[in-house]
């Protein structure tokens, strides 16, 4: 694999006609020029196809699938559509700095590295702002936390470090910045994933078991925030356990890593807070009996130091 090899940017999408145009513009402005873009449409019912085809650019390939899959399965479908060795999984409602591919590719060339991510800043999306308007990517005004990240270079995780961070704080990497290799996808079996693909963590953990994961501590994209966004709806209105906890619970049952009691205690505290979040949403929806059950679960997780089924 050489530095000048083709990079395929896979963009899974569903009904993102109002944002995908500007996402594509940002990717076409990359400083790394040897790229192709594959838009994998998960049975959109809006005019996403018209927006994509209006670019009339040979670097962009549009693939429409009539079978609508759950979001993470469509992620894998998008990855499988790539034929080149180097693959990015970018999102259709986000905006990428011109140097993100070039910056991340430098680290992916290392044979020990299976995936590379970078940091992002958030911007509120007002849909009417992005209709038929050019979105200019400029350097963000960084807050103190972002400035601290910029001062560091990168974090490299092995499996134990990645798992422990996920237990303590949640998923440490930003899904919309995912860069990997086709050979990695084939080796860890993500191309054949049929079960338990319920969170993007289901994608990262298999890679972490076999390779290092690099997280560049630099803002290289803008994460679009909107109340119409799927992730926003899931987080704020969710009445079920966060998928990442299901993945981590399964990982704890099958992995051979020794996790300390302190880490498990903090993990259970996180699960307790999640149960209370669910209970609040259930109360708002008038489902009081179900809410009480989650309050009880939250109390149980917070009380016990050991892993609880």
pLDDT digits (tens, 9 = 90+) for 20-65: 999 999 999 999 999 999 999 999 999 999 999 999 999 999 999 9
- Tell me the percentage of the chain whose pLDDT exceeds 70: 81
Separation of alpha carbons 184 and 172, rounded Å: 20
Which tokens belong to 133?
Answer: 């308007």
Per-residue pLDDT band at 249 (split at 50, 70, 90): very high
Half-sphere exposure of 7 (CA within 13 A, CB side): 28
pLDDT band at 157 (very low <50, low <70, confident <90, very high): very high
Q: Which of 62, 52, 6 is nearest to 32 (CA)?
A: 6
CATH of domain 7-125+137-226: 3.90.550.10
Render pLDDT for 208-219 as a digit per residue (tens, 0 to 9).
999 999 999 999
Q: Between 134 and 203, whose confidence is greater?
A: 203
Per-residue pLDDT at 129: 45
Predicted model pTM: 0.85
Using the predicted structure, report yes or no on whether residue 228 has a pLDDT greater than 60.
Answer: no
- Model pLDDT for residues 180-198, shown as the tens digit of each residue: 999 999 998 876 655 556 7
């Amino acid at each position: 694999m050489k530095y000048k090899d083709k990079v395929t940017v896979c963009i899974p999408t569903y009904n993102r006609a109002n944002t995908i145009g500007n996402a594509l513009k940002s990717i076409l402005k990359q400083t790394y020029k040897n790229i192709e873009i594959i838009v994998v449409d998960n049975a959109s019912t809006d005019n996403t196809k018209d927006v994509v085809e209006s670019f009339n650019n040979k670097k962009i390939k549009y693939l429409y699938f009539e079978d609508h899959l759950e979001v993470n399965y469509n992620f894998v479908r998008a990855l499988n559509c790539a034929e080149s060795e180097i693959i990015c999984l970018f999102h259709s409602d986000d905006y990428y700095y011109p140097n993100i591919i070039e910056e991340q590719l430098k680290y992916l060339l290392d044979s020990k590295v299976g995936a590379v991510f970078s940091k992002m800043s958030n911007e509120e999306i007002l849909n009417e702002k992005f209709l038929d308007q050019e979105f200019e990517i400029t350097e963000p005004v960084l807050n103190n936390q972002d400035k601290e990240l910029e001062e560091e270079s990168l974090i490299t995780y092995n499996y134990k470090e990645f798992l422990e961070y996920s237990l303590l704080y949640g998923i440490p990497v930003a899904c919309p910045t995912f860069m990997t290799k086709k050979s990695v996808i084939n080796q860890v079996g993500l191309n054949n994933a049929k079960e338990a693909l319920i969170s993007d963590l289901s994608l990262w953990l298999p890679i972490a078991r076999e390779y290092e994961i690099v997280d560049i501590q630099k803002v290289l994209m803008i994460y679009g925030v909107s109340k119409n966004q799927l992730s926003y709806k899931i987080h704020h209105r969710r009445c079920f356990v966060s998928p990442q906890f299901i993945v981590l619970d399964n990982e704890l049952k099958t992995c051979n890593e020794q996790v300390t009691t302190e880490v498990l205690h903090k993990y259970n505290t996180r699960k307790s807070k999640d149960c209370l979040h669910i209970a609040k949403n259930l109360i708002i929806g008038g489902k009081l009996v179900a809410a009480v059950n989650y309050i009880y679960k939250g109390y149980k997780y917070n009380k016990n130091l050991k892993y609880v089924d």
